[in-house]
Structure 1
Amino acid sequence: MIVVPAERIADLKKKGWWGDVRIGDLFEKHVREKTDREAVVDPINCADIVGREPRRLSWWQLEDLVGRYTAVLTSHGLRKDDALVVQLPNLVDLPAIYLACARLGIIVSPAPVQYREHELVYICNSIDAKAAITANRIGKHAHGEMLVRVKHTAPALQHVFVLGDAVDGATQIEPLLAQVKQSELAAAQRAEQEAPVTADDIFTICWTSGTEAQPKGVPRSHNEWIIMGEGVVHAGDIEDGDHLLNPFPMVNMAGISTSFVSWLLVGGKLVQHQPFDLQVFLKQIRDEKIDYTVAPPAILSLLLQNEALLEGVDFGRLQNIGSGSAPLSEWMVDTFHKKHGVQIANFFGSNEGASFPSTYRDVPDPAQRAAYFPRFGEGYKWDSKLHDRIFTRLVDPETEQEVTEPGKPGELRVKGATIFSGYWRAPQINARAFDADGWFRTGDLFELAGDRLQFYRFVGRLKDIIIRGGMNISSEEIEGHLVGHPAIADVAVVGSPDQALGERLCAFVVFKPGQGAEMSEINRYLTQEKKVAVFKQIERLESIDVLPRNPVGKVLKRELRDRLAQQR
């Protein structure tokens, strides 16, 4: 299925920014050339996550697993342009499933493992998902049973496959993979030949939350992913055969571009990690001889504050680390380079493709790199692979006039080869998401900075979202649930600054007269009655007599954030 307009495809291919290489082509090249070399490695705590021992696969063994997944999916009726929801942690199965779908043209829709029935029912119905794959248990949660319940309210969902023990209403997938017949492999090959996949077909539909109450689907093609991966490879100085450690869930831009696509571009070893565990993370860096990884700013600062944690790390290999999702510390960026020779790349990004890096080549000063991003598309020359393929401008959201002077915030608008073409089946949202000249409205506020105004500095968000550990959470969604709580009369949800995660959810609650509720009870209401994802729980509760509002009744969340800042 191709959703990108034909004229846009033709223009980008004419410029050489897009091509005809598909995700599967990258994989097959490495299978031929690096047959017996290690390709993917499970987390070492795999048994705790899904109840099985960790696996290590060569490129050829991964090819065998990919082929088996194509046979199982085909034998259960999935064909090109069908949608498959995948809710799995970072296992070796995840890239195998993605590659099987890329080969067949099945649209992958990855869901964070924290999502619960509320989000999953919406996703399955939005894309008419034909099947879903999960694990019987992920950690302590019964995901298999949950997806079976989802199946009852998602009419198109025909199959629920589970790794691990079978549950009623679901199909255990390991026996199917082990017992694949030659005739089933041949049927999968015929399906691939009869409906060939192009580089312009949708590969994934990922999910992002903005000001809308429901998540929005972001379709991205093979070309749209490959160009993002190329940007990451260049920014991180990732070379052929490098070992990559992936601690970000492979469900959105952060995990897919910085690990899956980058790994396919260089043909190295992908070491999976999830959920984040610092000791496991450091052991993998040491034991797997990691060349590149990513980590939140707070974790990187913590490592420098406890140097003993870094003993045994081979900084002759690990010379580049990516970071982002929260402000970086100048001290951290500078100290990693001076003490260990490590360059920290500061990434700004979104599922929609409004993404660019601040690297040591473009922003050598650590203080600037911690806070500034290159101003792409304004006549400045940058080293970044994406510098001439992304175009940016700042616009006053009130007047729609371009911001050209320092110190004045403006909304970042973006065009270019990395930007998606619109949200899935959302014409009204798309009408708001792009301005009259076709620029994508990011909802992020920046200021011009630098002696030549060559940089952008992030100053806040125009959209009412909270970014917790890189995950976007809609305030409107949580508020919509909380106003249904029997003790709550009014509520506003904002982000409370947090060093580790960037932000945590804070609810300012006006309780009904004579009533009240503890935060734990409110969270039980959210997760058990409303069945929302665990990471959307309230982590700070502020009781307030009345919410501050402007003359037309809009809640003044700026005042609530100021109150949190003063308390801090």
Structure 2
Amino acid sequence: MIITDYWGIQVARGQGCRALSSYQAGENNPVSFTYGELDAVVTRMGAGLAALGVEKGSVVSCQLPNGWQMTALFLACARIGAVFNPLMPIFRERELRFMLGHARSHLLVVPKHFRGFDYASMAEGLRTDLPELRHVLVIGGDGHNSFEQQLLEREWEKHCDTQALFAERRPQADDILQLLFTSGTTGEPKGVLHTSRTLLSNIIPYAERLGLGHEDIIFMASPMAHQTGFLYGLMMPIYLGAAAVLQDVWDARTAIRIAAAERPTFTMASTPFLADLIELAPDNGDALTSLRFFVSAGAPIPESLVEKAGNSINAKIISAWGMTETGAATMTRPQDDPERAIYSDGVVLPLMDVRVVDDAGLALPAGSEGHLQVRGASLFVGYLKRPDLYGVDAQGWFSTGDLARMDAQGYIRITGRTKDVVIRGGENIPVVEVENLLYKHPAISAAALVGCPDERLGERVCAYVTLHDGYTELSLDDAVTFLLEHSLSRNYLPEYLEVLPALPRTPSGKIQKFKLHERAANIRIDPAKRR
């Protein structure tokens, strides 16, 4: 079965059942759809996309906050066999120019404005560099590029036989369904390719481990352009036939107001979301008492948070580990003691395997630190146009780039990363990309980024630099201004900068980042100066 089969089952099962409610910042009431109502929208959009020239296998990109339009667009793409490519709203011209060009995107959907930024102008400005981008549709736009006028207001379903169209375009389980870019150590994003089979092979055992069903209410404030939000806020409710409740801009007070109204039973997010909710929970009565599970991944969960959660909300705190390439591959179990969520990242989900190996690729005994490898049904099928980076061996093992230990019961603990990536609030920071930009600063002769510990976000970005002769100082504000002038996303900006007389290096000249990690371990960024 593919995802549209599950959608058809849910529509047939309960056309009048609520499919989703979409909350937008600044609006008091959500936009809500039943399964029947949303199915009619999806049918019209699918026919409209085909009329605009989107072929089977074409890439449709969108840079959208959480909202009903993303769910509808994904389903419309799936019905006509198009590849869905969600892009994080934090990306700007430089990232988008590469991603859209690399994907050869046929169509891009953006909001007119979001959080004070003009996405419509940015998208139109990119078109001269992207000849294969035939259409830019703007939610809330006017005229020929209006998303509403092009896909919603015209009765496309009356201009063709949609049943025949969708049958002809129906993708197979192993056809590419999703393209999601992830930042790595190569200096440019990698396009991760997933199919219906790989994505459902993660969602189904994930939902079964937690005992989720169609009566659950799924709350998602994690971005749906990130694998967490996409898998468990967009696709999982479709598989379950459950209601999804979406929040576009994270604000803990708004989330609590939504929870009081919607009574969600499940959510998944990084630890800062959990910390924010727990801080406000004691002053908000029973607003969060409906929540059965809070799954957290991307960084270790501080012991204090688990203790506070036990005192202020009913939710079981579940710890998980995963990647864009796999979805959540390990999770603690609902019946586990709370300490498991504090001191482990869970045990492997069904249909997947994990192991810890030494430098030679040989399995290590329990308790030994080594390289974490993963294989199984939810493993991605490759990187777009980069077969050289698809490091899967003959036995199907994929090297994650993480260091880990596994205990005798199979629970893993991530202990470090061999990949050169800082994880800030669950979001990968493309270290090489930021370093390359810093090297362009006229004062900087060398630069290295590492993470410094932070109780709320897990890590914050620290920059160590040396200066060219003739320069004696460089402030953090100077560096940030320079990076912003070069269109770097704000989420990637360093929050600490130190000028050193020299960076620690090996005899061959390679920067010894472990020494910088040791130096950064004692840094505590003043909350008043945090970005």
The two structures have a TM-score, normalised by structure 1, of 0.87
Q: Which of residues 531, 536, 548 is equivalent to 2:504? A: 548
Contact 2:218/2:243 (8 A) holds in 1: yes
- Structure 1 residue 307 displacement after superposition: 4.3
Bigger shift: residues 322-331 or 554-563: 322-331
Q: Distance in 1 between matches of 2:114 and 2:410?
A: 46
Contact 1:496/1:503 (8 A) holds in 2: yes
DSSP-derived class of the 2:84 partner? strand
Indicate how the Cα distance of structure 1 residues 375 and 404 shifts in structure 2: closer, same or farther if over 3 A, else same. farther
Q: Which of residues 442, 455, 458 is equivalent to 2:400? A: 442
Q: Are residues 1:98 and 2:74 paired?
A: yes
- Structure 1 residue 369 displacement after superposition: 2.5
Indicate how the Cα distance of structure 1 residues 309 and 247 shifts in structure 2: closer, same or farther if over 3 A, else same. farther
Contact 2:79/2:169 (8 A) holds in 1: no
DSSP-derived class of the 2:148 partner? helix
- Structure 1 residue 112 displacement after superposition: 0.1
Contact 1:87/1:133 (8 A) holds in 2: yes
Q: Are residues 1:233 and 2:217 paired?
A: no
Indicate how the Cα distance of structure 1 residues 340 and 567 shifts in structure 2: closer, same or farther if over 3 A, else same. closer
Q: String of CA shifts for 1:529-567, please: whole Å, max 9, x gaps.
A: 2x2322111221111111100111111111111111134
Partner residue, 1:402: 363
Two-structure CA RMSD over aligned residues (Å): 2.2
Partner residue, 2:303: 330
Matches within 5 A, 1:18-33: 21-33=1-13
Q: String of CA shifts for 1:161-186, please: whole Å, max 9, x gaps.
A: 0011338xx70111223432356552
Contact 1:356/1:373 (8 A) holds in 2: no
- Structure 1 residue 522 displacement after superposition: 2.2
Partner residue, 1:423: 383
Partner residue, 2:519: 563
Q: Which of residues 2, 15, 26 is equivalent to 1:35? A: 15
Q: Which of residues 512, 519, 525 is equivalent to 2:482? A: 525
Partner residue, 2:291: 318
Contact 2:443/2:468 (8 A) holds in 1: yes
Partner residue, 1:510: 466
Q: String of CA shifts for 1:376-415, please: whole Å, max 9, x gaps.
A: 4xxxxxxxxx33x111211123x33322152x32110111
Q: Distance in 2 between matches of 1:526 and 1:252?
A: 24
Q: Are residues 1:366 and 2:322 paired?
A: no
Q: Distance in 2 between matches of 1:257 and 1:185?
A: 33
Q: Distance in 2 between matches of 1:100 and 1:368?
A: 40
Contact 2:466/2:503 (8 A) holds in 1: yes
- Structure 1 residue 354 displacement after superposition: 6.0
Partner residue, 2:90: 114
Q: String of CA shifts for 1:264-301, please: whole Å, max 9, x gaps.
A: 12212111112210011111111111111123324434
Matches within 5 A, 1:157-306: 157-166=133-142, 171-181=145-155, 185-186=159-160, 188-306=162-280
Contact 1:354/1:414 (8 A) holds in 2: no
Partner residue, 1:152: 128
Q: Distance in 1 between matches of 2:272 and 2:53?
A: 46
| Equivalenced residues, count | 523
Bigger shift: residues 109-118 or 289-298: 289-298
Q: String of CA shifts for 1:305-355, please: whole Å, max 9, x gaps.
A: 55434413252x322211121111334335534664421111111011063
Q: Distance in 1 between matches of 2:252 and 2:311?
A: 23
Partner residue, 1:495: 451
Indicate how the Cα distance of structure 1 residues 250 and 46 shifts in structure 2: closer, same or farther if over 3 A, else same. farther
Q: Are residues 1:140 and 2:120 paired?
A: no
Q: Distance in 1 between matches of 2:510 and 2:162?
A: 55
Q: Distance in 1 between matches of 2:418 and 2:157?
A: 55
- Structure 1 residue 189 displacement after superposition: 4.3
Q: Distance in 2 between matches of 1:118 and 1:65?
A: 33
Contact 1:347/1:355 (8 A) holds in 2: yes
Letter in 2 for 1:151: R
Q: Distance in 2 between matches of 1:534 and 1:544?
A: 24
Q: Distance in 1 between matches of 2:14 and 2:409?
A: 46
Letter in 2 for 1:350: M
Q: String of CA shifts for 1:6-36, please: whole Å, max 9, x gaps.
A: xxxxxxxxxxxxxxx1111111222222212
DSSP-derived class of the 1:561 partner? helix
Q: Are residues 1:77 and 2:53 paired?
A: yes
Q: Distance in 1 between matches of 2:307 and 2:211?
A: 18
Letter in 1 for 2:185: T
Matches within 5 A, 1:333-344: 333-337=306-310, 340-344=313-317
- Structure 1 residue 188 displacement after superposition: 4.8
Q: Distance in 2 between matches of 1:174 and 1:339?
A: 43
Q: Distance in 1 between matches of 2:425 and 2:2?
A: 31
Q: Are residues 1:45 and 2:25 paired?
A: yes
DSSP-derived class of the 1:566 partner? coil
Q: Distance in 2 between matches of 1:527 and 1:187?
A: 49
Q: Distance in 2 between matches of 1:240 and 1:295?
A: 21
DSSP-derived class of the 1:349 partner? strand
Contact 1:232/1:257 (8 A) holds in 2: no
Q: Distance in 2 between matches of 1:153 and 1:563?
A: 42
Contact 2:462/2:520 (8 A) holds in 1: no
Contact 2:65/2:223 (8 A) holds in 1: yes
Matches within 5 A, 1:61-72: 61-72=37-48
Indicate how the Cα distance of structure 1 residues 549 and 187 shifts in structure 2: closer, same or farther if over 3 A, else same. farther
Letter in 1 for 2:466: V
Q: Are residues 1:457 and 2:413 paired?
A: yes
DSSP-derived class of the 1:199 partner? coil
Q: Distance in 2 between matches of 1:226 and 1:401?
A: 30
Q: Distance in 1 between matches of 2:507 and 2:327?
A: 35
Q: String of CA shifts for 1:92-118, please: whole Å, max 9, x gaps.
A: 111000000010111011100001111
- Structure 1 residue 438 displacement after superposition: 3.2
DSSP-derived class of the 2:117 partner? coil
Contact 1:237/1:320 (8 A) holds in 2: no
Q: Distance in 1 between matches of 2:512 and 2:369?
A: 19
Contact 1:412/1:445 (8 A) holds in 2: yes
Q: Distance in 2 between matches of 1:254 and 1:182?
A: 32
Flag structure 1 segments of 5+ consecutive residues without an equivalent.
1-20, 377-385
Q: Distance in 1 between matches of 2:113 and 2:223?
A: 17
The two structures have a TM-score, normalised by structure 2, of 0.93
Q: Distance in 2 between matches of 1:305 and 1:112?
A: 27
Q: Distance in 2 between matches of 1:180 and 1:303?
A: 42
Q: Distance in 2 between matches of 1:256 and 1:58?
A: 20
Letter in 2 for 1:448: M
% identical equivalent positions: 27
Partner residue, 1:12: none
- Structure 1 residue 441 displacement after superposition: 0.6
- Structure 1 residue 436 displacement after superposition: 5.3
Indicate how the Cα distance of structure 1 residues 223 and 537 shifts in structure 2: closer, same or farther if over 3 A, else same. same
Flag structure 2 segments of 5+ consecutive residues without an equivalent.
525-531
Indicate how the Cα distance of structure 1 residues 255 and 304 shifts in structure 2: closer, same or farther if over 3 A, else same. closer
Contact 2:376/2:396 (8 A) holds in 1: no
- Structure 1 residue 494 displacement after superposition: 1.0
Contact 2:316/2:334 (8 A) holds in 1: no
Q: Distance in 2 between matches of 1:231 and 1:414?
A: 16
